[in-house]
């Protein structure tokens, strides 16, 4: 077995051992492992991508854990480059300031702070800010831009270290990272030790309800260890001496959950959103493994449809490229078998990805100018959560006769 990965034997939230496999996806390399031309002859290791359901607490998760050093050290995603996310983080900071009214000048810590975009809005609102992120270049750049950022992983020890150096935190945020860390229990121990008595822990994760209802299966990749729902989280936080006070659905990543927790007995009343989310999850049957069999069937149906469309276009001699090279494209391309024989190139607006090749399949990533110069007839929008923005920005492609293919939540040619 690879030394870069292990399969955990227990549920990440409750420690239970009754785990049922509900979805089996095609193994992939790390979804963000884009490679330079100099490494094309080196085969990239692929890891299992199987989804499990905990029969004890209903948590849906991956058990195969790829070493975070393999996943995150050369992370090429920078949140500040996407205007949609900048706007999202601005609204996010405003929401936290308004709903919880943290003490002015208090500490806000963002776990997985990336380039510091979210923290910059808290800083503007008069808070003291601190980021922590494992990516070396990105954390150094954030610090240089005025957002002090520790390079490293957050856990119980780090929480105590930060509390000693900076005092207790009024707000701790963690976006998407709360689904990225194998030792969630250690993270929450760190949060509990660092949070002030009136403080809140705010996290955003993709929401199992949206993943299930819209077949967002490509959000399943090794960095995302957890597909959270509210019912298992209530139990998890309670066992950790904390309490979930809000569970709000937000639009990012095709549908996410913004959860907010405080120390047990904290000052904030539990909002109606928590009970509403549990009722919705029960109505959908997400607390039963059998329900997830439908999800697996929906994935296969979607793949058959997309393959049929692409193969007929290729047979008709059409030139097909793709637009957007997000991490989730790796899952979609591997599971649906969409490789270089169907898609010639991928356009991505991030200069950090241009000139690189897609993980494993090694499809070249090019700039818009270079991609459109190849005169594609069709472009598959792999970054489907930005479909509208991509279509609007590239109106000239459509007016010149080109068409976009949106693969998810359903296959659409526009
Ligand atoms: Zn469990």
Q: What is the 3-state secondary structure (H, E, C) of 341-398?
A: CCCCCEECCCCCCCCCECCCCCCEEECHHHHHHCCCCEEEECCHHHHHHHHHHCHHHH
Find out whether 27 and 50 touch, Cβ atoms under 8 Å.
no
C-alpha of residue 290 to centroid of ligand 1, in Å: 16
Contact criterion met (CB below 8 Å) for 175 and 93: no
Distance 171 CA to ligand 1 centre (A): 27
For residue 232, the CA-to-ligand 1 centroid distance in Å is 7
DSSP 178: G
**What pLDDT sits at residue 23?**
96
Q: Mind giving me the DSSP string for 151-173?
A: ES---HHHHHHHHHHH--EEEEE
Contact at 8 Å (CB) between 407 and 382?
A: yes
Radius of gyration, alpha carbons of the chain: 21
CB 28 within 8 A of CB 361: no
pLDDT of residue 100: 95
245 with 72: CB under 8 angstroms? no
Q: Which CATH number fits domain 79-284: 3.20.20.105, 1.10.10.410, 3.40.50.2300, 3.40.50.150?
A: 3.40.50.150
Q: Which helix (H) or strand (E) holds 108?
A: strand 107-111
CA 237 to CA 293: how far, in whole Å? 28
Q: Say what the pLDDT of residue 255 is.
A: 85
How far is the centre of ligand 1, averaged over its atoms, from the C-alpha of 326 (Å)? 30
How far, in Å, is the centroid of ligand 1 from the Cα of 208? 15
Task: Name 18's Cβ contacts closer than 8 Å, sequence gap at least 6.
Answer: 54, 55, 56
Coil, helix or strand at residue 199: strand
Instruction: Quote the ligand 1 centre to 160 CA distance (angstroms).
Output: 27
14 CA distance to ligand 1 centroid (A)?
A: 4
Question: What does the alpha-carbon distance between residue 383 and residue 189 come to, in Å, rounded to a whole number?
Answer: 35
Predicted local distance difference test score (pLDDT) of residue 360:
94
User: 137 C-alpha to center of ligand 1: Å?
Assistant: 36
Name the fold adopted by 307-413.
Rossmann fold (3.40.50)
pLDDT score, position 2? 62
Q: How far is the CA of 228 from the centre of ligand 1 (A)?
A: 11
Q: How far is the CA of 15 from the centre of ligand 1 (A)?
A: 6
pLDDT for position 169: 98
| CA 238–ligand 1 middle distance (angstroms) | 13
Chunked in runs of 10, what are the mean pLDDT values of the chain (414 residues)?
Answer: 85 97 96 92 93 98 90 59 83 96 97 94 98 90 96 93 97 90 93 97 95 92 95 98 96 86 96 97 96 93 97 96 95 96 95 93 97 97 93 96 96 96
CA 227 → CA 56, 82, 112, 395, 410, distances in Å?
Answer: 16, 24, 18, 35, 21
Per DSSP, the three-state class of 121 is helix
Domain ranges for the chain: 79-284, 307-413
Cα 42 to chain centroid distance, Å, stands at 27
The sign of the CA dihedral 343, 349, 355, 357 is negative
Q: Find, among 266, 284, 268, the residue nearest to 195 by Cα.
A: 266
- Give the contacts of 46 (CB within 8 A, at least 6 positions apart): 27, 28, 29, 360
Are 79-284 and 307-413 in the same CATH fold?
yes
Segment 389-392 long-range contacts (CB within 8 Å, at least 24 positions apart): 389/83, 389/84, 390/323, 390/324
Give the distance (Å) from ligand 1 centre to CA of residue 13.
5
Cis bond before residue 409 (omega within 30° of 0): yes
Q: Which residues lie near ion ligand 1 (Cβ < 5 Å)?
A: 11, 13-14, 16, 54, 56-57, 59
What does the alpha-carbon distance between residue 361 and residue 348 come to, in Å, rounded to a whole number?
A: 16
d(CA 412, CA 167) in angstroms, rounded, equals 52
| Cα 278 to middle of ligand 1, angstroms | 16
Q: Distance from the CA of 229 to the center of ligand 1, in angstroms?
A: 12
**Secondary structure (3-state) at 3:** coil
Residue 236 Cα, ligand 1 centroid: separation in angstroms?
9
């Amino acid at each position: 077995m690879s030394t870069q990965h292990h399969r955990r034997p227990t549920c990440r939230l409750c420690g239970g051992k009754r785990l049922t496999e509900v979805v089996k996806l095609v193994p992939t390399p790390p979804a963000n492992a884009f490679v330079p031309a100099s490494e094309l002859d080196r085969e990239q290791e692929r890891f299992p991508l199987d989804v499990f359901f905990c029969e004890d607490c209903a948590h849906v998760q991956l058990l195969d854990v790829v070493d975070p050093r393999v996943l995150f050290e050369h992370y090429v995603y920078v949140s500040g480059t996407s205007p949609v996310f900048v706007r999202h983080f601005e609204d996010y900071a405003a929401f936290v300031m308004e709903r919880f009214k943290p003490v002015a000048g208090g500490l806000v810590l963002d776990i997985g702070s990336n380039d510091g975009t979210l923290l910059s809005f808290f800083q503007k609102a008069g808070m003291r800010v601190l980021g922590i992120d494992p990516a070396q270049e990105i954390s150094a750049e954030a610090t240089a831009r005025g957002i002090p950022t520790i390079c490293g992983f957050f856990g119980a020890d780090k929480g105590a270290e930060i509390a000693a150096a900076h005092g207790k935190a009024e707000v701790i945020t963690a976006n998407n990272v709360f689904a990225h860390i194998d030792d969630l229990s250690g993270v929450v121990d760190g949060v509990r030790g660092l949070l002030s008595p009136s403080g809140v822990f705010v996290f955003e994760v993709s929401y199992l309800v949206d993943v299930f209802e819209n077949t967002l299966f490509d959000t399943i990749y090794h960095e995302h260890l957890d597909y959270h729902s509210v019912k298992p989280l209530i139990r998890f936080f309670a066992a950790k001496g904390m309490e979930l006070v809000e569970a709000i659905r937000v639009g990012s990543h095709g549908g996410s959950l913004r959860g907010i927790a405080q120390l047990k007995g904290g000052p904030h009343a539990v909002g109606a959103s928590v009970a509403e989310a549990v009722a919705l999850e029960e109505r959908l049957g997400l607390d039963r493994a059998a329900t997830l069999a439908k999800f697996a069937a929906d994935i296969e149906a979607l793949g058959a449809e997309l393959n049929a469309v692409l193969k007929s276009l290729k047979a008709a001699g059409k030139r097909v490229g793709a637009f957007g090279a997000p991490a989730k494209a790796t899952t979609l391309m591997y599971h649906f078998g969409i490789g270089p024989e169907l898609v010639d190139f991928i356009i991505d607006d991030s200069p950090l990805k241009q000139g690189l090749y897609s993980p494993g399949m090694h499809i070249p990533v090019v700039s818009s100018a270079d991609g459109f110069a190849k005169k594609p007839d069709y472009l598959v929008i792999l970054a489907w959560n930005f479909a509208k923005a991509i279509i609007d920005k590239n109106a000239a492609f459509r007016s010149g006769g080109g068409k976009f293919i949106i693969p998810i939540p359903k296959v659409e040619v526009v």
